[in-house]
Amino acid sequence: MLTLVRHGESSANAAGLLLGRTDAPLTEKGWRQAAAIGALLGPVTRLVSSPLARARDTASLLDLGLEVEIDERWIEVDYGEHEGRPLGQVPAEVWRHWRADPHYRPLGGESLAEVAGRVSAACEELFSADGQGARSTHGDVVVVSHVSPIKAAVAWAIGADAGLAWRLHLSTGSVTRIGWGATGPVLHLYNAQPSSPA
């Protein structure tokens, strides 16, 4: 099973900023969210993380006793010129372009289609039949990542295009699970959250 964990709330999330590659720290709520996620996890054989601090800190707080493997493919989308802007200050025309075209790339940034490409490759590698990945019967692979890559993994699992991202909500400190069925990936759980932190 592949278990995808969205990092706990960061200071930029709490401030309503468009947060991509900026290394914003976890808030107190984010630390509580991350610490509570462990209750939703079963046996884990591998722990993978985005290189960004909010993901790495969340991975550490899971307290799984495993070395954290860094995989750049799980990093958040690059918002380019819109990085760090309040959501309400992104021009309406930009939102229209983004929603209409998965290949839309903001200046200096990355498209959702590009995110989907790198995440699909990472998922396919984790589900390869080598016995070391998410098909293992000994435990799950946990990946700590961000909103856009996790939505891209869900789209990969259900055979949807990158535009699916606009139709999904994913909370900080949440868990999504993808398994492997007779014909390929199967979405088992989406946006599950521990009941305690608020």
Residue 198 reports pLDDT greater than 60: no
The one catalytic residue among 7, 83, 110, 146: 7
Average pLDDT, the chain: 94
Give this prediction's pTM. Answer: 0.95
Under the banding of pLDDT at 50, 70 and 90, the label for residue 132 is low
Specify whether the CB–CB gap between 192 and 40 falls below 8 A. Answer: yes
Has 76 been annotated as catalytic?
yes
Q: For the segment 57-88, what is each residue's pLDDT rounded down to a tens digit?
A: 999 999 999 999 999 999 999 999 999 999 99
Task: State the pLDDT at residue 196.
Answer: 54
Q: Architecture of 2-192 per CATH? A: 3-Layer(aba) Sandwich (3.40)
Closest CA to 175 of 126, 197, 198, 142: 142
The one catalytic residue among 76, 83, 110, 146: 76
